[in-house]
Amino acid sequence: MSSGNDCQSQTLTKPALGEREAAELVDRVFGLKVSWIRSLPSYDDQNFHVRVSAEGADEYVLKITNSEDSQEPDLIEVQTQAMMFLRAEGFPSATPYLTKDGNIMSLELGGTRPGSKKYMVRLLTYLPGTPVAKITTNAQILYEIGRLAASVDKVLSEKFQHPSLKSLHRGQFIWNLANVPLLDQYIYALGQNKYRAVVEQVIEQFKGKVIPKLSSFRACINHGDLNDHNILVDSSSASLEYRVSGILDFSDMSYGYYVFEVAITIMYMMIESPDPLSVGGHVLAGFESVLPLTAEERGALFLLVSGRFAQSLVIAAHTALLYPENKEYLTITAKSGWKHLMTMFQMGQEAVEKTWFEAAQAYTYHAPA
């Protein structure tokens, strides 16, 4: 769900290729004939589900990166190599299909119209499965997702090497959780919305209580966007046991902290849950089965989850002003996000944390197999 460093400079940078143009791109750049293509929803890139006329009817996702991020080839290279690395480590991530020149990506002109911009293009393997947003989550899959979040960050931080790793230090990247204070410049997009005061309260508390503690958190590489549309699951027909079958969208990868990942994951798993406040304990238990949090990290969790709600709601409102035609997708989180954020603040930090920590503690006695 990301974009470049400066939200306001993004105007008109989202690719807008038609299906025929996209199919021609696949043929020209990757040497594959498209037999079927359809558009996929995206925040500010453009994605297509593609089936090619090859033996086995292979399926791919054509990913056309917005023109802002397309100017950072080192960053896209690192993100793509991280996907390949995770696949080799046994994680269900996509891998790129190489261009005719043998590269993992190619900078291409997006159409024939005058003034057409150049976009970085990749063809990624299509991962089967159902987005978490489309299932009724239970304790088992929430625990697995928490465990996945910790495992991904841990293996990336401990083992992944690349000459351009420094490109993940994205100081002003609006989706990095450390940058909640940057929301001040986009809060205008809420107008005089009745929820604006809560967001302002989140930002101020974040500045006072989280920012000064960042140096005490353990640093790592964050996936940064394990939301309910970026995690795919499948289930055995005999039970409601789910397993993660796909991890999507590495475009928010950046250097951050382990506690950021669990906070982001808790927030997004709350979105579709019928019992949102119970979610945190199950995700936290899964995460801590791999990486137990320190007392300082746990103490920041409430404001970090609240901060991610604020980021998602404010940036979505801002971006919907730029791309009104994409408003429905951009404001998915807002449908229940405002309600959940308000509930958290009405209950207060102590009560919410008590719910999360007691649920997580129960797993030490009844850990899943």
Active site residues: 225
- Please give the helix or strand (H or E) that residue 50 lies within, else none: strand 46-52
222 vs 239: CA distance, rounded Å: 32
The token pair at 141 is: 């899959």
Q: How far is CA 71 from CA 66, 75, 76, 106, 107, in A?
A: 9, 9, 9, 12, 9
Residue 302's contacts (CB-CB under 8 Å, 6 or more residues apart) are 344, 349, 352, 353
* CA terminus-to-terminus distance, the chain: 33
Residue 274 near residue 102, CB atoms below 8 Å = no
Write the DSSP string, 124-187: EEPPPSEEGGGS---HHHHHHHHHHHHHHHHHHHHH---TTGGGG--TT-TTSGGGGGGGGGTG
Q: How far is CA 147 from CA 75, 143, 187, 208, 368, in A?
A: 26, 6, 34, 30, 11
192 vs 186: CA distance, rounded Å: 13
Residue carrying the six token digits 């990757």: 30
Residue 68's contacts (CB-CB under 8 Å, 6 or more residues apart) are 3, 4, 9, 10, 13
Q: What is the DSSP letter of 106?
A: E
Q: What is the DSSP letter of 93?
A: B
